[in-house]
């Protein structure tokens, strides 16, 4: 579904628009998002799970009003984890009942706003929060639907998963320690809360389904325990997000249809064995929807060849628009996109303009040896966790997000200006 193409002149177009035109019109650096690809990925998730399930796009990956409208139109819901994200989702017209609220330490204000907005469910994450939320719902005279976030003892990352001992973290209420069962008792005891189900999220950038499958089995196991202890069958489970995407050619991502089939099948089998009616399933993909849909367009500023080592290519952004390389040692690829080159490849490191040597965007990459100031280069797969984790380090101005579709580009989040920074600085 991607509309990124390279012409005979070596110039890359996206959605029918030439990157040189984008740079000239909107400046660099810029995040360039392929709207058709975003919509297609959102639809693929919705279609994979079908009418018997709900897809909540994880707004933390990237959230803006345009994106919320696309999600609304494509039949997805939104998962938010702060009042800021809630605000954007509501401002874009997402109905409250299609929003879910997350977080391990939501403030009283955030809980109040979410209840007032009539969010579809709130995922409770601690005993204190159960009490806080019950009181707030009570005061507003509503019965608030909730899920309980549990820790299933599985933590999954990239190519492996570990099914023991990963309970030493801040999220959720542990299954093995009995905290999850206690949370169920406490929520059921509060008339202003309606317990809809159980939530689990095991990690991010995962390729191996084994971790999801163990989690699904354990969540269904808890549903059976709840039925046995309380005589109620909870109608929903949420299995979180986490499906990995390709950052480099070595990554081999799985399709939403594959994970939907695998999870639906496991839940159906486990429920049959426990004599439970299968619950409605929801999932919360963020990266897998938005990650591949955008690239960052940079202009090369300086090129420094270090004899016998590598060539440092400095661009007009850096760790302020993509912290993932510095923070997680994340791998990215990069390509020259504004012209063709017959030059030999050289080992390059793409770095930013910030005042520290860890300011690396792409650690090791081959770029043509004739790369020169003024060339445009693109780093793919920066749609998730780049703009949303961007900072103003060195008073950098956060780049705009451009949406390109059908031969036209428009700004959906504008570039920051010095005035934006000074507006916050009241002297
Ligand atoms: N649901 C919950 C409860 C989550 O905590 C997350 C991500 C998601 C869904 C979405 O996960 P995804 O499908 O995007 O993997 N900043 C890190 C990723 C942190 C993920 C946090 N939680 C990164 O840049 O890799």
Active site residue 386: no
Q: Is 158 left (phi over 0), alpha (psi -120 to 50) or beta?
A: left
pTM listed for this prediction? 0.97
pLDDT given at position 161:
73
368 lines ligand 1 (CB under 6 A): no
> Ligand 1 mean position to 404 CA, how many Å?
25
What pLDDT does residue 158 have? 62
Q: Is the dihedral of CA 224, 226, 230, 231 positive or negative?
A: negative
Residue 279 DSSP one-character state? P
Q: What is the mean pLDDT of the chain?
A: 96
Local confidence band at 155 (pLDDT 50, 70, 90 cut-offs): confident
Which residue has the CA at smallest separation from atom 15 of ligand 1? Answer: 242
Q: What's the rounded mean pLDDT across residues 59-75?
A: 98
What pLDDT does residue 168 have? 79
Mutation choice for ligand 1 from 125, 152, 209, 287, CB with most ligand atoms inside 8 A: 287
Report which DSSP code applies to 416: P
d(CA 187, CA 7): 59
Stated as kind and residue range, the H or E segment containing 168 is none
Region of poorest pLDDT, from 68-72, 160-164, 173-177, 359-363: 160-164
The DSSP code sequence of 213-224 is HHHHHHHHHHHH
- Per-residue pLDDT, 36: 96
Residue numbering of the annotated binding site for substrate: 287, 324, 328, 356, 385
Q: Domain ranges in the chain?
A: 4-33+291-424, 35-288
Q: How confident is the model at residue 159 (pLDDT cuts 50, 70, 90)?
A: low
For the segment 182-204, the average pLDDT, to the nearest whole number, is 97
pLDDT at 332 over 80: yes
Decide the pairing of beta strands 311-315 and 408-413: unpaired
Number of the ligand 1 atom closest to the C-alpha atom of 204: 15
Q: What is the mean pLDDT of residues 394-422?
A: 97
CATH architecture of the domain formed by 35-288: Alpha-Beta Barrel (3.20)
Domain 4-33+291-424 matching CATH 2.40.37.10: the answer reads: yes
- Under the banding of pLDDT at 50, 70 and 90, the label for residue 164 is low
pLDDT tens per residue, range 124-153? 999 999 999 999 999 999 999 999 999 998
Phi/psi for 38 (5° steps) reads: -60, -50
Ligand 1 mean position, distance from CA 115 (Å):
24
Alpha helices in 314-397 (DSSP H): 324-328
Look-up: residue for tokens 């520290």? 356
**Among the options 81, 271, 355, 386, which is catalytic?**
355
Tell me, what's the ipTM?
0.99
Mean pLDDT of 296-311: 97
Q: What pLDDT, on a 0 to 100 scale, did the predictor assign at position 93? A: 98
Is there an atom of ligand 1 within 6 Å of 244 CB?
no
**For position 167, what pLDDT does the model report?**
72
Q: Note the pLDDT tens digit of each residue in 217-246.
A: 999 999 999 999 999 999 999 999 999 999
Beta strand pairing status for 236-238 and 280-283?
A: parallel
pLDDT of residue 163: 66
**Residue 380 has which token pair?**
């793919």
Return d(Cα 71, Cα 43) in angstroms, integer: 9
Cα-to-centroid distance, 242 and ligand 1 (Å):
6
The per-residue pLDDT for range 349-361, each reduced to its tens digit, is 999 999 999 999 9
Read off the pLDDT of each residue in 12-41 and give the average, rounded to a whole number: 97
pLDDT at position 2 over 80 = no
């Amino acid at each position: 579904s991607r509309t990124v193409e390279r012409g005979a002149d070596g110039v890359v177009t996206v959605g029918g628009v030439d990157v040189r035109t984008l740079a000239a019109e909107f400046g660099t650096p810029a995040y360039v998002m392929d709207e058709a690809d975003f919509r297609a990925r959102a639809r693929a998730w919705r279609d994979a799970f079908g009418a018997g399930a709900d897809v909540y796009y994880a707004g933390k990956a990237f959230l803006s009003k345009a994106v919320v409208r696309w999600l609304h139109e494509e039949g997805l819901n939104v998962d938010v984890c702060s009042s800021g994200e809630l605000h954007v989702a509501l401002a874009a017209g997402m109905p409250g009942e299609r929003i879910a609220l997350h977080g391990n330490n939501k403030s009283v204000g955030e809980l109040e706003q979410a209840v007032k907005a009539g969010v579809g469910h709130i995922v409770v994450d601690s005993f204190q929060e159960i009490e806080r939320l019950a009181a707030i719902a009570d005061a507003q005279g509503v019965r608030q639907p909730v899920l309980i976030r549990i820790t299933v003892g599985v933590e999954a990352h990239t190519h492996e998963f570990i099914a023991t001992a990963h309970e030493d973290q801040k999220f959720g209420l542990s299954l093995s320690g009995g905290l999850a069962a206690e949370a169920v008792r406490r929520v059921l005891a509060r008339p202003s809360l309606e317990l809809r189900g159980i939530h689990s999220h095991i990690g991010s950038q995962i390729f191996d389904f084994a971790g999801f499958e163990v989690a699904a089995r354990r969540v269904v196991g808890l549903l059976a325990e709840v039925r046995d202890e309380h005589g109620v069958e909870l109608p929903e489970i949420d299995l979180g997000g986490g499906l990995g995407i390709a950052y480099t050619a070595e990554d081999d991502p799985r399709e939403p249809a594959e994970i939907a089939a695998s999870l639906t099948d496991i839940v159906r089998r486990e429920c049959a064995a426990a004599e439970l009616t299968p619950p409605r399933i929801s999932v919360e993909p963020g990266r897998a929807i938005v990650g591949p849909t955008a690239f960052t367009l940079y202009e090369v500023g300086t090129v420094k060849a270090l004899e016998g080592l590598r060539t440092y290519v400095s661009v007009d952004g850096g760790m302020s628009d993509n912290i993932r390389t510095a923070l997680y040692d994340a791998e990215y690829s990069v390509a020259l996109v504004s012209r063709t080159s017959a030059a030999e490849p050289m080992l390059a490191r793409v770095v930013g303009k910030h005042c520290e040597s860890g300011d690396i965007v792409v650690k090791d990459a081959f770029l043509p040896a004739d790369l020169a100031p003024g060339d445009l280069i693109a780093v793919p797969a920066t749609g998730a966790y780049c703009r949303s984790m961007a900072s103003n380090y060195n008073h950098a101005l956060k780049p705009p997000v451009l949406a390109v579709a059908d031969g036209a580009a428009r700004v959906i989040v504008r570039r920051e200006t010095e005035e934006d920074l000074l507006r916050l600085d009241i002297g």
